[in-house]
Amino acid sequence: MSEASDVREALEKIFNADTGIYAQRGFQRRVGFGTRPALVHIDLANAWTRPGNAFTCDGMDTIIPAVQQLNEAGRAKGIPIVYTTTAYNTKGGSSDMGLWVKKIPVEVLEIGSEAVQIDSRIAPLPDEHVIVKKRASGFHGTNLSSFLTAHGVDTVILTGVTMCGCVRHSCEDAIAEGFRPIVVREAVGDRVPGVVEWNLFDIDAKFGDVEPLARVLDYLNGIEAFTSRV
């Protein structure tokens, strides 16, 4: 058994025990699915999805096919599909990296570079929205909330990376902005073994619903096709 598998197994035992504590205290309620969803793919750009980068995440052999299936189902119903990437002007006095560069190597995320382009295996269609963000959450300092509201969205289906950072913060902001967050278990990842499991457990207890891919696909296949509101 691999080190990552050992960590996942150990965490599963811990979380199964902790589930009882949360449930007794009234946590782990369900926000449920609404009637007008959007897919929001967090930072599935080359710097995160392809090997050999500082930001490279594990699990793309599962995440990419899951996102492909979600896109196919979502496009068939005409729902909004949004991608985020994180990118900066890294040069001199015009840099917008802020203090984050003191903690992580965001200097490699130069705006316009191949590193910050959405992975071609899940490339957005010409009419799909791509947001360039500067912070962890897809909502922070962007038009994501207003875009979703304009389209009458009530449910945000989240995929992407990283589970401990940008996906988590996007989920927290989604519920704060009045959207039902649904995190697709097979479509999220991270760089460190165990981080995905811990954050899925914690999000499911406090901020959104963690659902398996099959259930999310059943939901998308069962909704009525979108008619534009904008």
As beta bridge partners, residue 131 has 84
Q: Is 57 a catalytic residue?
A: no
The partner residues of 84 in beta bridges, in order of sequence, read: 42, 131
Q: Which of 57, 164, 166, 171 is catalytic?
A: 166
What 3-state class would DSSP assign to 183?
A: strand
**CA torsion 197→203→206→207, rounded to 10°?**
-170
Q: Are strands 155-161 and 81-86 parallel, antiparallel or unpaired?
A: unpaired
CA angle (17 as vertex; 16, 23 as ends), nearest 5: 85
Beta-strand runs (E) in the chain: 37-42, 81-86, 129-133, 155-161, 180-189, 209-211
Residue 83 is which amino acid?
A: Y
Residues assigned a catalytic role: 166
